[in-house]
Amino acid sequence: MKCPKCGSNMENSYCIRCGYNGVFEENNTEKKDSQDVASSKSNNDKQDEILPTEENTKKGIADLSKQANTEKVISNQKNDKNNFNVYNSVYDEVSPQMPYEESKSGSYFDGKFLPYIAYSYLANFLKTLTAGIGIAWGDTIIASYKYNHTTYSDKKVKFEGKGIDLYPEVFKWILFTVLTLGIYALWIPIKKEKWMVSKLHFEDEEYIEGHSYFDGGLLGLIGVNIFSAIITVISLGILLPYAYCYKQKWFAKHTVISRKRIIFDGKAISLIGNWLWWWFLTIITFGIYGLWLPIKLYSWKVKNTHIKLKSEPMPSTSKGPAILGIVLLVFIIIGVVIGLLNSDFDISNINPFKAGIVDDSNKVGNIDAMSTEVDQANSFYR
């Protein structure tokens, strides 16, 4: 038997020259053939299992579509830091991956001094010229300029309010105020704030009615205003920055724009420095710089306002000062009423001579002269 490798004679299927072992090679060949057959059978079985059916085809398309959408979201999240619709939440807030400082630094007011002053004077001129009838147009003019130049967390604000839309509300507020003898006037500021906020949305998002709103209450607003006014007056204006920050924090906490909660994080200590500097410039310019104060203060407020992050805790506004303001107001009213009830004031006790209305040096002669004139008048008409 010849060796298949070297051609030499083989003994017992073994080649002494090259070491070829016929039995071993034969066994390996049979084993390899059996493995190939098994592999072929397994592949055929798998192929039978994944034969395209209508159900498998639909499932595959759905999986591919889901995978494509997931990859698209991840891609947008990496490439677009301003994508605010990635995560579902109550207010459709910004992505928690966005750093807190980065979202805060994108807030600013880009309005200019001269246009702001021009719109302010135009609004006041309309109110004065029309004896208050043009108040709706005046308020919407200045609000439109302020909000349309405001940006929170790199999202520009858009104001959709029109004077003609505000007129029915103003007429209703005035009517209710007259019917309630002025009591309803307490509700007008918060009603106006609700209307203004309801007309806001972010420029890159469609305006949808009901997605922007102000949910602050009347008692809260009264308490905040009274507390702010009291501490400002008592401190002779020194605590005005604190009162302003407390008030703005309350307003921002209750403001939602396009389903996104707004947060004001300005500190009174930061405002005091700016406040002193602005008043110093106002004094040395003989009041001229005072024209810039409203726009400077509004710019500072916007700079310290941002959209609430999903992972950011909701800042707490203490209700103590607001409650204290309401309590102080109640005590003041009670004190005035008690003072009037306990006083000896009586209109019948009013003496014109004691009040100095009539000169009492010759009050007898004056009374006689007045009596004579009355008698002459009576005789004339008879």
Predicted confidence (pLDDT) per residue in 249-306, tens digit: 999 999 999 999 999 989 889 898 898 999 899 999 999 998 899 999 999 999 999 9
pTM of the shown model = 0.59
- The separation between the first and the last C-alpha atoms of the chain, rounded to the nearest angstrom, is 174
Q: Edge-to-edge strand order for the sheet containing 305-307? A: 213-214, 255-257, 260-264, 305-307
Share of the chain above pLDDT 90, in %: 28
Taking only the tens place, the pLDDT of each residue in 78-111 is 444 344 443 344 444 544 444 444 445 689 999 9
- 271, with CB counted inside 10 A (0-12, 13-18, 19+), is buried
Contact in structure between 46 and 58 (CB atoms under 8 Å): no
Contact in structure between 257 and 92 (CB atoms under 8 Å): no
Largest alpha-carbon pair distance within the chain? 176
φ, ψ for residue 216, nearest 5 deg: -75, 155
Taking only the tens place, the pLDDT of each residue in 167-216 is 899 999 999 999 999 889 989 999 999 999 999 999 989 999 899 999 98
Residues 341-369 have a mean pLDDT of: 53
Which residues are 14's β-sheet partners? Answer: 11, 21
Q: Where are the domains of the chain?
A: 10-49, 100-216+254-314, 346-381
- If one compares 28 and 242, the residue with the highest pLDDT of the two is 242
CA distance 252 to 331: 29
